[in-house]
Structure 1
Amino acid sequence: MTASTSVRRTALGALTIIAGAMLVMPVQAQNHPISSGQRATAQQVSERGVPLEELAPNAPDTYVVKRGDTLWGISGMYLKRPWRWPELWGMNLKAIPNPHLIFPGQTLYLEKDGAYARLRTSRSSEPETVRVSPRTRSDSLADSALPTLKPHLIEPFLVEPLVVDAQVLEHAPRVIATTEERVLMASGDRVYVRGDAASPMLAEAGEPRFYRVFRDAVALKDPVSGAVLGYEAQYLGKAELVRGEAFEEVPNGKGGYSAEYVPATVTLSATKEEVRAGDRLLPAPARAFANYIPRAPELDVDASVVSIYGSSSVTYAAQNQVVAINKGAEDGIEAGYVLSLLTKGARVKDSTDPSKAMIKLPSEINGTAMVFRTFDRVSYALILEIRDGVRVGDRLVNPK
């Protein structure tokens, strides 16, 4: 095998190369959901691409994907409206079950045909190939795939925000005591936890071993209707179960023994704040590869900012901050949806009117946000770009 080998379509290898498409993993290895609307759109544009006027002024004819690149960054390099990335790529989803992965080292070619342009990983006159070098280390393709956004911006929020029913935390295992009778505990410390009577914390096969610690479920209220959409719990850190709850036989002083309850023991790690008695634990979700394509929603969206994540004292959210919005999976919202942010439109006094009447200024486009995590009635979105600060009540709509 030479130092650089051309890998083509194969039925046996770990890689699959399909002409005119991205490098993808086998279906059984990755299974990203593709909606019927996205499939229909992709099929319509798979032979056409996007109009030339949609290209960014300096869109390169060729580009070699580098480590550190993101789908959103490359989208903005090629398109005036980055959410049209699926159309530029011309995803033929009939042939490609998973179009979400491109990798460092691939060369992207911008091909123009008449009034339209498409992006490929080979020139149209060449078979689709990708160059790889031999190595002794085995890497997961999912781990090397290009992320949609800079990982450090959203990775914490993929596990931190928790929107729950009012009863979930109330019945979750709770911290009841700390070592050395300390009030506050941090990473590396051990604390003692008691589970609900119906679901104690047990160190048995099949039972959770890793947990997340939360506090104070705060109601998320719809700024439009006032309805409670869910309860957002404050994330404190991680915990690992050392010993499960049990009953121990202890002498009763009368020549016999009695059963005495002993709480579970957990070790804290990666704490963001001190942990104290009353804090709650919930099983940690399995780590999952999360990636998605930036795209415009396939449905009409008119959402509002519910809260700015991480601080109740902050009035305005800035770029790269996360906001909760009042639409979720039940409303058809999906990770990867790009939305335009609109200002509320301030109310001002008309000083030119003798009556000094109050008037409402029009809402203006203020920037762009991308949804990256959804719950039933609430979603979280990362602010990608803004002109002015974003506040509770600002609207998010389909990008124009």
Structure 2
Amino acid sequence: MGTLSDREILGLVAEGHIRSRRYKKFEVQPASLDLRLGSIAYRVRSSFLPQGESVQTLLPEMTLYQIDLNSHPYIEPGAIYIIPLDESLSLPATVGGKANPKSSTGRIDVFTRVLTENGHRFDDVPYGYNGPLYLELFSRSFPLRISSGLCLSQLRLFSSREILSDEDLLLLHKKYSLYSDEAEGGLQDGLVLGVDLSEGDVVGYRARKNSGILDLSSLTPLSPEAFWEPIKTPSGGALILEPEEFYLFASRSRLKIPKNFAAEMLEFDAQSGELRTHYAGFFDPGFGFSEEGAKAVLEVRPHDVPFRIVDGQRIFRLRYERMNCPPDKIYGQDIGSNYSAQGLKLSKYFSDFSF
């Protein structure tokens, strides 16, 4: 009983529990299914939850205008869009799910949440759900060019999720060395880990304002200089972050996810600082495991007031969950993963900085 692996997800596809409007080939990761944009986007007045109603019924009331992504594939920053997804579900009564943005999506300050018909919570897919899926899309920093079929979010499926206790995590760390910096690793409903402000000449990036259009449909990685400002190693080891600015940093530790497990970042306790530390934060089985670990990239946005952080400050938690069975292919070079053995790294849509 646990999170379903790639072979089990493909089994649900073969049995007709996961369907697609247009595509026969499904994009399956070691522990998740990529969700693809349909061809129509609805610019809506506000975010909303169906609360027992149909999304399709509410859309006429909420929609300002409709966009055909084949002829006008542009998303304005600060505007909210609802996009029907190509995938729909008819899950067994024993299977439910949870969605989250893909890592490449979170790293460009794009916020996505999945809605179900009659749903009361974002990103939650009830056990036995039968119906279409919709994506709420909100870009905070950059104007975007997108395309139908683009994968911005992913769906994890599970049968009775099994979250590891702190005691289980301690035993797992003794066996696999889940994190590299032994000064870290506090336990608080998951591993409590810190930010790296000391390794290398550049310790982070800040999103530039008033940039050009970020083309997510381009096959050629974009030059990052027009979109990102590098942050140099701070003297004294401390940085003051500006409210409502978007930053990328790396974790202090290099992390490992054994193949029988997956992990996700959790919202940190607000008493530890008024800031958001991730949009995506899901780690597939095998992340960092075929190498000497890989760093987590933290998507940070302070709220309300400037906030000072120091090297090693604990600003995020990592919670592990057990897989129902090991995946056929783990995260890494075998499946062409974008962030295998990563340090501080921009989204796959960008080439590396040239200094």
* TM-score above 0.5: no
Larger radius of gyration between Structure 1 and Structure 2: 1
Higher normalized strand content (fraction of residues): 2
TM-score with structure 2 setting the length: 0.23
Which of structures 1 and 2 has the larger relative contact order (alpha carbons within 8 angstroms, sep 6+)? 2
TM-score with structure 1 setting the length: 0.21
